[in-house]
Amino acid sequence: MSRRNLIFAVLALALVLGGAYVSSQQGTRFDDEADNSVPLLEGTLVAIQDCPYGEASCILGQGIERALQARQVDAVMQFGAPRLYICPGPGRSDSPSPLCDRLGADEGRPGYPVRQRGGEASVVPSEVVRATLKAFVDAIQPEAEDEVGDGEIRLYAFSCTHQAFPAQNLSCAREGIILSAIVNRGTVAQREILVFWTEGGFAGRTLPFTELWDGVVPADEVPLLFETGGRLDDLGEVDVIDQSLPR
């Protein structure tokens, strides 16, 4: 074997061995993660008989549902993708607040728009979204009941505020995934919703959520959100999923 061919052979062997080592390390890491996690996505597409906006929406919606039912807020956050905001500088009326309140011009920070229905929107870092979800989960009263069903958090509907253009290869350009539970904030138990918004495009296996809303469910919205579907000014066209789901 020539010196040149010997060098190529050694390099090839090194690459093969290196690839095998990396694969074994990744396999071990994923096995370790699997041992400590809930199988959130296993069988998620079986239950929904009517998913209006495609498979990716089903995967995201039921993945979030399972994570919240397991009280795994960190798992929910893994379904999110914060936006990068370039701050315009202190005192500007167009500044994403409170994310950019103390940052100079042209500084970038990742964040999520959040809003309580009927209130003003704000932009916050990921840790605030995590704390908001944790507070919601901690307040869930699964044993409570109302006209909708029991108090456990469940996926009930999807909504769409903006239809996609044909070239986008999507059904909805801005889609809401609507979950609801009965919660007790220290005074009285009441039904509230969480709305995880997506705006098209793929990140891995699913659409990521980029915005979060919450709020109390008014009595006149109960049929629209949980039975018939229909249009709401802020949520757009609401599509209630298959009512044969166990509640």
- Long-range (24+ apart) CB contacts under 8 A made by 117-121 are 117/193, 117/213, 117/214, 117/215, 117/216, 117/234, 118/215
What is the assigned CATH class of domain 44-82+125-240?
Answer: alpha beta
- Write down the pLDDT at residue 75: 97
At residue 41, the pLDDT reads 43
- Averaged pLDDT of the chain: 79
Q: Which residue has the higher pLDDT, 95 or 21?
A: 95
Residue percentage of the chain with pLDDT more than 70: 71
Alpha carbons 16 and 13: distance in angstroms, whole number: 5
Domain spans of the chain, in order of start: 1-36, 44-82+125-240
Residue 169: the pLDDT is 52
Look at residue 25 in the predicted model and tell me its pLDDT.
36
Q: Within 10 Å of residue 148's Cβ, how many Cβ atoms?
A: 18
This prediction has a pTM of: 0.77
State what percent of residues in the chain have pLDDT above 90: 56
| pLDDT at residue 27, rounded to an integer | 33
Q: Is pLDDT at 162 greater than 50 in this prediction?
A: yes
pLDDT at 29 over 60: no
Model confidence pLDDT, tens digit, residues 184-215: 988 889 999 999 999 864 433 457 999 999 99
Using one digit for the tens of pLDDT, what is the confidence trace for 39-82?
444 443 344 556 777 777 888 899 999 999 999 999 999 999 99
**Omega before 98 within 30 of 0, i.e. cis:** yes
Confidence of residue 143 (pLDDT cuts 50, 70, 90): very high
Confidence check: pLDDT of 24 > 60: no
Q: pLDDT category, 172, cuts 50, 70, 90? A: confident
